[in-house]
A and B are shown apart, each in its own frame.
Chain A
Amino acid sequence: QLQLQESGPGLVKPSETLSLTCTVSGGSISSSGYYWGWIRQPPGKGLEWIGNIYYSGSTYYNPSLKSRVTISVDTPKNQFSLKLKSVTAADTAIYYCARRGTMAVAGLDYWGQGALVTVSS
């Protein structure tokens, strides 16, 4: 059974960089056809897609966040990571990592449990 687990600091200061890692177990991040991504959810609000990465390193980002976001992949460690720079209180959210299924499915079929990140001094 595939599992995803987010990890990283739960508190980040304003103007600094938010860094999270998603560790994939029960399957290979290098499997053909799957994209790996990040989604966030501010407290009490809806879902916002941040971006995706393929194991080859190809990335797609939400245009509204593109200037501040970097997603990278570490295939030997079976992990992918998120960096969001110059954070403000508006970036406070639960951050989820998720897998986008192959074209036969195409939805986000596996999710991590989520990691709450608070931006505060």
Chain B
Amino acid sequence: SYELTQPLSVSVALGQTARITCRGNNIGKKNVHWYQQKAGQAPLLVIYRDINRPSGIPERISGSNSGNTAALTISRAQAGDEADYYCQVWDSSTAVFGGGTKLTVL
């Protein structure tokens, strides 16, 4: 079965740039989706199909995907960006999630 690997935690200083990675075998050939989950809330889709933002998601949040690594980049980090972030792909019509990364804004 397909596996996605994320770092457990990432820290970023207020106003700086955070990068959260998601590693998988040839993940560049798949469409990657990213979710933000704040404490006590349901996940929220923030990036779909590698680079696209749903309506209402700020341009500060961007995605990339190539080779064996996809990444979510959050520029000008704010306190409100503190959350767990999950990557996800579809593999043979089944969903696979990464283990999640806790983003701390210092």
Contact = CB atoms under 8 A, between A and B. Distances in A.
Nearest to B44: A111
Chain B: number of interface residues, binned into ranges: 20 to 34
A121 B94 CA distance: 32
A113 B38 CA distance: 12
Interface stretch (B16-24, B66-74, B75-83, B95-103): B95-103
Given A49-B94, A49-B97, A112 B42 contact: yes
A16 interface: no
A111 B88 CA distance: 15
Given A106-B90, A107-B48, A46 B99 contact: yes
Given A113-B42, A114-B42, A108 B88 contact: yes
Contact of B100 (A39, A46, A106, A114): A46
Given A96-B42, A111-B42, A111-B44, A63 B49 contact: no
Nearest to A111: B42
Contacts of A105: 48-49, 52, 54
A105 B45 CA distance: 10
B48 A109 contact: yes
Interface in A37-53: 37, 39, 46-49, 52
A43 to B, nearest CB: 12
A14 interface: no
Contacts of A107: 33, 35, 45, 47-49, 88
Nearest to A37: B95
Interface of B: 1, 31, 33, 35, 42-45, 47-49, 52, 54, 86, 88, 90, 93-100
8 closest A-B pairs by CB: A107-B33, A49-B95, A107-B48, A111-B42, A46-B100, A47-B97, A60-B93, A107-B45
